[in-house]
Amino acid sequence: MGQGTLVHVGRASWCAAVLLVAAAGGASAQGLAVLAARADTAEQQQRFGDAAKIYEAAYAQSGFQPLMLALAAGDAARAGLADSAFRDLNRAVDEGFLDDGYFTRDSDTFVLHRDARWPALEAKLLARRAALDSGLRQELLTLADQDQASRQGVGEFMQRHGSSSREGDSALRALAAADAPRLERIKAIVAAHGWPGRRLVADDGAHAAWLLVQHAPFAYQQQVLPLLLAALRADDARAGDVALLQDRVLVGEGKPQLYGSQARYPVHAGPPVLDSISDEACVDVRRASVGLGPLAEYLQTLGVTYAGPPGVCRRP
């Protein structure tokens, strides 16, 4: 990798992209926004060690997005905490964050280039990038962008008109028509490659593939879920992604969900209606274990007021 021009990669632009994906995927965008603001303040005050810890906390609240580890590493490097920086960068690469521009051009990490550990990290990054199907990764990212564009404003529209209205029915049919070619393509990709995980298409490409399946018909979600569970066991998928697909499949099977991510459009105008949750007292414990913020924060982004789960979670 050539060193290129050194730049300070803007935290604001990185985090804006993360928050967009978090909102789409059900992670706590509100909680991430608070953490990003705290990290930005710490950076402005040159408390880079504190900023690194905040980004590490954001990693755990983002559905385990490895980009957050890369941001933590940059601040750790600026704080002179080389051990922490290398730990976070190595983990970010292992989990599919493979943007070589960040590693070679960001002035935050440049100090690490003189460290004896840098060549091994660089070699690992190069090997992981060489193993990628870059064309497939880009296709998945493009399809996911199209998926999100098709859904822009649909939630607010359904709350205004209700799913049983003529307007709501028309909107859902239009959305299904827009999804149809993307559905056929993700089916073809999975048939050809198996689940396109982090090793094949990097973390962002694997997340994009999940997003397409998350909006697929129930029968296909049910078919793909075992592939994603296997990918998770192989550290080839995000825990938060798998959790949200599990919820969709459980609700589709008529069972209570585990993580509280699923709410249906109202029949008449109004906010979404939360589907039932198994062992609801422990829902936030389960959400935290897969990198999802508190349920009340997530539901607030949907316009749903949630008083909190009944009872006390008795799990250790």
Residue 8 has pLDDT above 60, yes or no: no
CA-to-CA dists, residue 71 to 36, 59, 229, 250, angstroms: 10, 10, 27, 35
- Residue 294: in which H helix or E strand, if any? none
What is the bridge-based pairing of β-strands 263-264 and 273-274? antiparallel
**Which stretch of 41-45, 141-145, 161-165, 168-172 has the lowest confidence by average pLDDT?**
161-165
Could you tell me which of 247, 229, 242 has the C-alpha nearest to residue 295? 247
Q: Give the pLDDT band (50/70/90) at residue 7.
A: very low
pLDDT of residue 100: 74
Q: Taking a C-beta distance cutoff of 8 angstroms, is the pair 256, 154 a contact?
A: no
In a domain, 165, yes or no: yes
DSSP 95-142: TT---HHHHHHBHHHHGGGGSTTHHHHHHHHHHHHHTS-HHHHHHHHH
Q: Confidence class of residue 62 from pLDDT cuts 50, 70 and 90?
A: confident
Report pLDDT for 308: 77
Which of 136-150, 212-226, 269-283 has the weakest average pLDDT? 269-283
If asked whether residues 209 and 251 sit together in one domain, one would say yes
Considering 130, 151, 174, which residue would you say is the last residue of a domain?
A: 130
Listed residue (193, 190, 198) closest to 216, CA to CA: 190
When the pLDDT of each residue in the chain is averaged and rounded to a whole number, the result is 84
Residue 59 near residue 294, CB atoms below 8 Å: no
pLDDT at 2: 32
List, in order, residues 6 or more apart from 92 with CB less than 8 Å away. Answer: 66, 67, 69, 70, 73
Domain hosting 60: range is 11-130
Handedness of CA 9, 13, 19, 24 (dihedral sign): negative
Structure confidence at residue 23 (pLDDT): 46
Out of 270, 286, 310, pick the residue that ends a domain: 270
Predicted local distance difference test score (pLDDT) of residue 155: 57
Residue 192 contacts residue 124 (beta carbons within 8 Å): no
Residue 153 and residue 70 share a domain: no
Query: Total structural domains in the chain?
Result: 2
Least confident piece of the model among 15-24, 79-88, 189-198? 15-24
Give the H/E segment covering residue 43. helix 29-44
Backbone angles phi, psi at 264, to 5 degrees: -100, 155
Is the residue at 201 inside a domain?
yes
Q: Which of 92, 113, 130 finishes a domain? A: 130
H runs (alpha helix) in 151-294? 154-161, 166-193, 198-214, 218-233, 239-252, 283-289
